[in-house]
Amino acid sequence: MAAEFDTSHVKNIVLLGHAGSGKTSLAECMLFEAGLINRKGSVAENNTVGDYHELEHLRGNSIFSKLMHTTWRGYKINILDTPGYDDFVGEVLSALRVADTGVMLINASTGVEVGTDVIWEYTEKFKTPMIIAVNKLDHDAADFERAVQQAKEHFGNKITVVQYPVQQGIGFHQIIDVLRMTMYKFHNTGGKPEKLPIPEEEKERAELLHKELVEMVASNDEDLMEKYFDKGELDEDEIKMGMKKAMINHDIFPLFCLSSERNMGSGRLMGFIDNVCPSANEMPPQITTSGDELPCDPNGPACIFVYKTVSEPHVGDLSYFKVFSGTVKTGMELVNESNGVVEKINQLFLMEGNKRIPVHELAAGDIGATLKLRNTHVNNTLHVKGKNIELEPISFPSQNITVAIESGKKGDEEKIAQALHQIKEEDPTLIVEVSQELKQTLIHCQGDMHLAVAKWKIENIHKLEVKFTKPRIPYRETIRKAADASYRHKKQSGGSGQFGEVHLRVEPYYEGMPEPSEFNVRGRETHNLDWGGKLVYYNCIVGGAIDTRFLPSILKGIMEKMHEGPLTGSYVRDVRVCVYDGKMHAVDSNDISFKIAGIMAFKQAFQQADPQILEPVYHLEVVCPEDLTGPVMGDLQSRRGIVEGMETEGHFQKITAKVPLAELHDFSSSLRSITQGRAKFKMHFDNYAPMSYDLQKKLTEAYSKSETELVV
């Protein structure tokens, strides 16, 4: 049985927008308008096709991207609904990777929000053809003109008005379409509108916007420009053809009007998606990692790209994929390019939220799912045998917050590790790290809500008790002046004993420092430390006071102590050590003796060399509305942050600052509270900086106390 829809009749759209812009409600309208569901559900009643997950019902917003599909006038529309919070950006990116058109929803009552800006950056990167949909025009605070103006300020003058509301707010029920030069009048319950002539009082505005639309379309196509000059007009088919080409080239972003809550405008939007938006085979071919083109051809070599994985209880892993080339059929064997494993496609499904609809084949351009691929993960390319095809993987952003995870019950550690592995398999933006340095298991993620979802999964799906704690800080220790020390290790316990004496000098190391002048240098080793910085080790022994064969043992002892510095147990960096004297015993000296002597001599010298704790400092960029810059800067300064600058970024202000990592543990939740979720931030490691005397004293005292307690 052949695929129900050929490549040219499949449209893949992704619904995008800040949280609360109405994406899930629009998806519900589209399914209802097409007759796939008999009753339109609502987010408030927890009965939409898209938001089916228990956690989404609890939180009242989308958390995971969903795949749905509908048919409309001979076309199949795959609908990818995405969450609006920046914490779930991985879900947005994976959906964008396989969509051919994006619909960016703007809430008419709030305008362009930070989340909208974040997502727009990704659409520019993917060069996704975009539609702007101003939604919630029936809200009492709706302001269409402001929303359009802000959209143009943020996304550029390529935004072209196709529709505008005759009235907005509570009485919204009429839309004027300047492409078709028609007025749509809706009943209170929405649905199919009446098509009416444009009222006399609106004709001037409609004609002006129509002219702007036609000129924008013509300006992006020489043939259409000539026709426009000849006729002074373009017909509807010519405008549609020009718009499709301009959308593919990212030259036009048509703007529509909606009330998804009351089902007004979704049918016209679906008609535009069918008539104008590109199919996958009309988009530029995919470029493989080797630089080759892969056309979207149903007769080409079968090739699919896995963009999402979901673990379903009692079922197994469900892999979501797009067919980028060829036709995939049940029973087909495909090779995973990443690991060479042959995977058999035993089942194929179309998805309707959490409902699976079995099919026998899917043609190029379509999106579907399959079960129980043994060794296939997100970002893997599968293809027919005999080919070497690998598609560009999704690049996920770095993480913003880190917590340590601990078991609530002794003995559950292995089960927790398995649960984290499963969660990471579903969500590549969550990173799990077992830190040898901090002796903690760390979770790195996008924000508080992202973390809350991970915790909910562990506790409710995997039935395990866990607690999240503040992670330890990876401090570094160094010195600020030179110091000498010696240590004699002597132990006698019958028979051969232990003896080793080491004299050494420690100095702060910096690039380009002169060689030691007061010692006779016999050898030098430079060690680039895994944790940053260097150890430079000199052999300055004269007259055979210590046999050369014991010098590696002294170095081993020094390195061991550098793994656990004297002040806080943190790594030591940027030290120069000169071993210049010592003593040995013909019988009792051995490697362990000189290793211990090296440890103790280094520890004593280090503590006399004006030791300094260095703390990690992060570079922060916070983007927020202008009226919130004061509270945000105040919060940063309360965290020992140094605000370095502020500049305008679109409609928002970008604050840059340097803040110690020790002060950033709760910054994500604090920022959300201060700005009511209207800000975003990103951060990355900048440098290690010296800590103030008072804070250093507190840390060293706390460490000394904990060490004493351990000994006791």
CATH at 342: 2.40.30.10
Q: Are residues 492 and 420 in the same domain?
A: no
Q: Are residues 294 and 373 in the same domain?
A: yes
Give the H or E element holding residue 712. none
% of the chain beyond a pLDDT of 90: 72
Q: Residue 627: is its pLDDT beyond 50?
A: yes
pLDDT in tens, 159-181: 999 999 999 999 999 999 999 99
Query: Residues for the chain: how many in total?
Result: 712
pLDDT at 3: 55
Instruction: Report how far residue 642's alpha carbon sits from residue 487's, in angstroms, rounded to the nearest whole number.
Output: 43
Q: What is the largest CA-CA distance in the chain?
A: 113
Tell me what the mean pLDDT of segment 575-597 comes to: 94
580, 609, 638 - which closes a domain: 609
Residue 597 lies in a domain: yes
CATH at 589: 3.30.230.10
Residue 401 lies in a domain: no
Domains held by the chain: number? 5
Tell me what the mean pLDDT of segment 639-660 comes to: 92
Residue 301 lies in a domain: yes
- With 0-12 / 13-18 / 19 or more C-beta atoms within 10 angstroms meaning exposed / middle / buried, residue 84 is buried
pLDDT at 178: 95
pLDDT band, very low/low/confident/very high, at 561 (cuts 50, 70, 90): very high
Neighbouring C-beta atoms of residue 665, cutoff 10 Å: 17
pLDDT at 33: 83
CATH at 631: 3.30.70.240
pLDDT at 49: 72
Contacts of 318 (CB under 8 A, 6+ apart): 309, 310, 311, 312, 356, 369, 370, 371
For the record, the structure tokens of 608 come out as 């006399």
pLDDT at 222: 87
Are 683 and 621 within 8 A, CB to CB? yes
Residue 395 lies in a domain: no
Contacts of 495 (CB under 8 A, 6+ apart): none
Q: Are residues 250 and 297 in the same domain?
A: no
**Which residue intervals of 144-254 are DSSP H helices?**
144-155, 200-219, 222-231, 236-248
Neighbouring C-beta atoms of residue 201, cutoff 10 Å: 8
pLDDT at 708: 67
pLDDT band, very low/low/confident/very high, at 711 (cuts 50, 70, 90): very low
| Cα 152 to the center of its chain, rounded Å | 26
Give me the residues paired with residue 201 across strands.
Answer: none
Q: Residue 226: is its pLDDT beyond 50?
A: yes
Neighbouring C-beta atoms of residue 143, cutoff 10 Å: 18
Q: Residue 497: is its pLDDT beyond 70?
A: yes
Q: Are residues 121 and 220 in the same domain?
A: yes
Q: Residue 144: is its pLDDT beyond 50?
A: yes
Position of tokens 């939604």? Answer: 135
pLDDT at 121: 85
pLDDT in tens, 391-416: 999 999 888 889 999 998 888 999 99
> What is 381-411 written as a DSSP string?
EEE-TT----BPPP-PPPP-EEEEEEESSTT
For the record, the structure tokens of 382 come out as 């599968």
pLDDT in tens, 335-365: 999 999 999 999 999 998 888 999 999 999 9
Instruction: Report how far residue 278's alpha carbon sits from residue 101's, in angstroms, rounded to the nearest whole number.
Output: 7
Domain region containing 428: 410-469
Tell me what the mean pLDDT of segment 310-333 comes to: 91
Q: Are residues 267 and 212 in the same domain?
A: yes
282, 298, 322 - which closes a domain: 282
Residue 24 lies in a domain: yes
Q: Residue 712: is its pLDDT beyond 70?
A: no
Q: Are residues 593 and 620 in the same domain?
A: no
pLDDT at 72: 84
Contacts of 122 (CB under 8 A, 6+ apart): 89, 92, 93, 96
Specify whether the backbone of 187 is left (phi greater than 0), alpha (psi in -120 to 50) or beta: beta
Instruction: Report how far residue 700's alpha carbon sits from residue 567's, in angstroms, rounded to the nearest whole number.
Output: 5
Range scoring the smallest mean pLDDT among 28-42, 61-75, 283-297, 636-650: 28-42
Q: Are residues 375 and 428 in the same domain?
A: no
β-bridge pairing 466-469 and 476-479: unpaired
% of the chain beyond a pLDDT of 70: 96
Q: Are residues 485 and 449 in the same domain?
A: no
pLDDT band, very low/low/confident/very high, at 540 (cuts 50, 70, 90): very high
Q: Residue 439: is its pLDDT beyond 60?
A: yes
Q: Are residues 637 and 674 in the same domain?
A: yes
Q: Are residues 127 and 202 in the same domain?
A: yes
Range scoring the smallest mean pLDDT among 232-241, 569-578, 695-704: 232-241
As a whole number of Å, the CA-based R_g of the chain is: 32
Residue 402 lies in a domain: no
Residue 430 lies in a domain: yes
Are 296 and 364 within 8 A, CB to CB? yes
Q: Are residues 223 and 305 in the same domain?
A: no
Residue 677 lies in a domain: yes
Position of tokens 């000189």? Answer: 594
pLDDT band, very low/low/confident/very high, at 5 (cuts 50, 70, 90): confident
Tell me what the mean pLDDT of segment 666-680 comes to: 87
Tell me what the mean pLDDT of segment 473-479 comes to: 96
Directed axis angle between helix 200-219 and helix 236-248, to 10°?
Answer: 50
Instruction: Report how far residue 110's alpha carbon sits from residue 544's, in angstroms, rounded to the nearest whole number.
Output: 80
Q: Are residues 515 and 454 in the same domain?
A: no
Q: Residue 151: is its pLDDT beyond 70?
A: yes
One-letter amino acid at 381 equals: T
Contacts of 357 (CB under 8 A, 6+ apart): 349, 350, 351
CATH at 39: 3.40.50.300
Q: Residue 494: is its pLDDT beyond 90?
A: no
Q: Residue 12: is its pLDDT beyond 50?
A: yes
609, 640, 674 - which closes a domain: 609
The whole-chain average pLDDT of the chain stands at 91
Q: Residue 310: is its pLDDT beyond 50?
A: yes
